[in-house]
Structure 1
Amino acid sequence: MIAIGFILGFFEKHSNKYLVRAFGPQGVLLTAWIGTPIHEIGHLLQCFIWGHRVSRVKLLQLNSHDGVLGYVEHHYNPNSIYHQVGNFFIGLGPIFSGIGSLILGMYLFVPQSYETFKAEIHQHVSLEKLDINVLKTIGGAVIAITKSLFTLHNLINPFFWIFLVLAISISSHIALSKADIQSSARGLWMIFCLLVLFNIAAGIFHLDSYRLIVKSAEYNAYLLAFASIALLFSLLTFTVSYLLYKLKTI
């Protein structure tokens, strides 16, 4: 998921760059009015789940002098292991809220494409192991979604175009900021320490941790498969912004 965050960040950075070149500094606002609140809601929800105290929230600010479109200020007890682990998930919150919003939008506006995607995931995601086949599943899911979305029936369906606007706006702001990555890194370090302690205890007391590892791999496989939606629309956003930039310079 961290790797997915970096890939989404690459697409977002270049998409916004081309939008700014095409429409000026206000070009980013074309997508921010939907994407930024969903990004910040992802942080906010994870703060509630992990018990962090939220002091200030700005889901969208259009006239910021430093260019920050939104933020969530939160505080935690550094002596609490639960709070420290929460930093990892709070930092990744926008990925969860972004992917969830894309799936919900697909379910509501293009249900046939949603069913195709769900069938692809259930058919190919392995529940026994996490290996190279998961990457093939992501590629297959992207191809299946693309074929089911861009059909003649959808192109004349107004709900498809509503979903497309929503999807492009969400995927344009799903990536992690530098502060998000730093927050996740603090939580990741604590998770790493806990896993080391768990493995030591499992070795001493002869505990079978294989079933837990398999279950974790299963969740990761599903998350990566769902992330294929965000990757698809981030790539689409990058392509559209680049074409708009080229049209502007003609």
Structure 2
Amino acid sequence: MKQLVINYGLVLGSLLGLPAVFAWLLTVVNRQTKSNLVTKFGINSQVYLGCLGIVIHETSHLIMALIFRHGIQSVRLLKLPHLNRRNGGDDDLALGYVNHTWSQHSFYQTIGNLFIGIAPIFGCTASLLGLDYLLFPGLAHAILKLAANPTRLAWTASWSVLTQQVGNWWQLLLLLLLTVLIVIGGFDLSPADYQNSALGLSSTIVVLVIFTTMITLLDVHAATVLQAITTFGLTMAIILSYSLIVSLLVMLITRFLRA
């Protein structure tokens, strides 16, 4: 029974808990960054500096909506917001959107709401890891090596890989620039994203609890599966941690910038 409770914590924490905590932190920080930009440089500045992240954000929603067979009504990966419409209607502050429909009678589509809502967290994380591979291979390899064994973190081996595979200065500068463009616009989950995620949260928890119970009680490669899940969660946490650090630095810089 004790092992079952531990496994529940590992699975739910790695797949739902960690992404949720970082999603909240990154949303708070990057909303403040956008507020700083809008106040000092106008409403469109948040699009110019967060364009790459916004496109990845909306593309992540779209891909997940297609995977979970939701009906796609309209898509716009990037748009400029405006405060007042010419016909006197409401403000349109959206930076992009994916409008989709789903069947309440489909358990699969219901679960999909959670993953569609939080898809930008995974999409932006994957994008950052891909950029690391292209522009700073040592960082990507160091992250994966550190997360490979969550119970015994290989700090020395990870640091060795990190320092031995450093790219050229222009690659590091480009990586920093692209990372900033992604974190500003990509990790900020909207109220609609949270509302959409809530629709599938309980169903997803039920599925994960059943899955964890089965592999624990039947002992069907439980150790291997759990290590893979915790490795995934730790990899996410490492990438999201440095994304949060970059976000905090950008927030502080934009706070003290002058228009």
TM-score bucket of the superposed structures, by smaller chain: 0.7 to 0.9
* Alignment correspondent of 2:139: 113
- Choose from 229, 235, 248 the match for 1:238: 248
CA distance in 2, matches of 1:175, 1:102: 15
Structure 1 residue 86: Cα displacement: 0.8
| 1:109-188 pair list within 5 angstroms | 109-122=135-148, 124-126=149-151, 157-172=169-184, 173-188=186-201
Worse-matched range after superposition: 101-110 or 182-191: 182-191
CA contact (8 A) 1:36 1:70 kept: yes
- Against the structure 1 CA distance between its residues 191 and 212, is the aligned structure 2 distance closer, same or farther, given a 3 Å change threshold? farther
Match of 2:111 in 1: 85
C-alpha RMSD of the superposition? 3.2
Query: Corresponding residue for 1:8?
Result: 26
Question: CA contact under 8 A between 2:147 and 2:234: conserved in structure 1?
Answer: no
Q: How does 1:173-212 map to 2 (within 5 A)?
A: 173-194=186-207, 208=218
Q: Which amino acid aligns with 1:125?
A: P
Which moved further from structure 2: 182-191 or 212-221?
212-221
Q: 1:229, 1:78 → 2: CA distance?
A: 35
Code of the aligned partner of 2:103: N
d(CA) in 2 for partners of 1:24 and 1:189? 40
In structure 2, the residue matched to 1:56 is 74
Deviations 1:19-52 (A, max 9, x none): 2344232331232221101000110110111111
Q: How many pairs does the alignment contain?
A: 228
How far is the alpha carbon of 1:217 from its aligned partner? 6.3
Aligned counterpart, 1:129: none
Give the 3 Å change call, closer, same or farther, for CA 66–103 of structure 1 in structure 2: same
Q: C-alpha displacement at 1:219, in angstroms?
A: 1.6
Q: Deviations over 1:56-95 (max 9, x none)?
A: 0010001444211001011111100000011111111101
**Structure 1 residues 118, 197: CA separation in 2 closer, same or farther (over 3 Å shift)?**
closer
Preserved contact between residue 117 and residue 144 of structure 1 (Cα < 8 Å) = no
Rate the CA distance shift 1:2–1:240 in 2: closer, same or farther, 3 A.
closer
Name the aligned partner's letter for residue 248 of structure 1: R
Indicate the SS of the match to 2:255.
helix
Task: Report the 3-state secondary structure (helix = DSSP H, G, I; strand = E; otherwise coil) of the residue aligned with 2:95.
Answer: coil
Q: Which amino acid in structure 1 is aligned with residue 173 of structure 2?
A: W
Instruction: Describe the SS at the equivalent of 1:57.
Output: strand
- 8 Å CA contact 1:21–1:245 kept in 2: the answer is no
Normalized against structure 1, the TM-score is what? 0.77
- Segments of structure 1 that go 5 or more residues without pairing to the other structure are 127-132
More deviation, 34-43/15-24: 15-24
Contact 1:40-1:94 within 8 A present in 2 as well: yes
Give the deviation of 1:158 after TM superposition.
Answer: 1.1
> Cα gap change, 1:119/1:193 in structure 2, threshold over 3 Å: closer, same or farther?
closer
Deviation, 1:160, is 1.5
Deviates more, 1:69-78 or 1:6-15: 6-15
CA 1:80–1:248 in 2, change beyond 3 Å: closer, same or farther? same
Aligned to 2:233: 223
8 Å CA contact 2:61, 2:117 repeated in 1 = yes
Match of 1:77, SS state, is coil
CA distance in 2, matches of 1:196, 1:99: 25
